[in-house]
Amino acid sequence: MVLKTELCRFSGAKIYPGKGIRFVRGDSQVFLFANSKCKRYFHNRLKPSKLTWTAMYRKQHKKDIAQEAVKKRRRAAKKPYSRSIVGATLEVIQKKRAEKPEVRDANREAALRCVFVFCLCILCLDSALTLEDKVQL
């Protein structure tokens, strides 16, 4: 069986059902106190942050951290983002990503053809091979 506990408006202590003192102010605001000591201090207008035994004081002065519900902090997931590389700006990289596969394949073929022609030119400069040998390569 679960009992619904409430908190004292002055000390912050737990108040179990059937216990505590309920005070209703003229403006219909309800205050629940753990005992007559809390009620007396409240009516004498003492601040709970000045009394060392209240939960408010302990929270303000960073006492009792072990009992305080400390949430585990989650690290924000790192979002991937694009940035330029030394050889290419961000716009060039995004343009290459956006181009269609057919265009990409055509560009690759053209680049390979250029490399092939360059290799043939180097081989032509080499006098040891004949023209027929060079074409077969």
Domain boundaries, the chain: 6-60, 90-136
| Higher-scoring residue by pLDDT: 8, 77 | 8
- Does the pLDDT value for residue 11 go beyond 70? yes
Class of domain 6-60: mainly beta
Check: pTM over 0.85? Answer yes or no: no
Of 46, 44, 54, which Cα lies nearest the Cα of 8?
54
Mean pLDDT, rounded, of the chain: 86
Confidence band for 63, pLDDT divided at 50, 70 and 90: confident
Mind spelling out the 3-state secondary structure of 34-65? Answer: CCHHHHHHHHCCCCHHHCCCCHHHHHHCCCCC
pLDDT single digits (tens) 12-40 = 999 999 999 999 999 999 999 999 999 99
Amino acid 32: pLDDT: 97
- The mean pLDDT value for 70-80 works out to 81
Segments of 3-132 assigned E as strands? 6-7, 14-15, 21-24, 30-33
Contacts of 100 (CB under 8 A, 6+ apart): none
Q: Which residue has tokens 């023209």?
A: 131
Rounded Cα distance, 19 and 39, in Å: 13
Amino acid 24: pLDDT: 97
Helix (H, G, I), strand (E, B) or coil at 66: coil
Helix (H, G, I), strand (E, B) or coil at 82: coil
- The mean pLDDT value for 83-96 works out to 82
Q: How far is CA 87 from the centre of its chain?
A: 32
- The mean pLDDT value for 76-89 works out to 81
pLDDT single digits (tens) 114-134 = 888 888 777 777 655 565 665
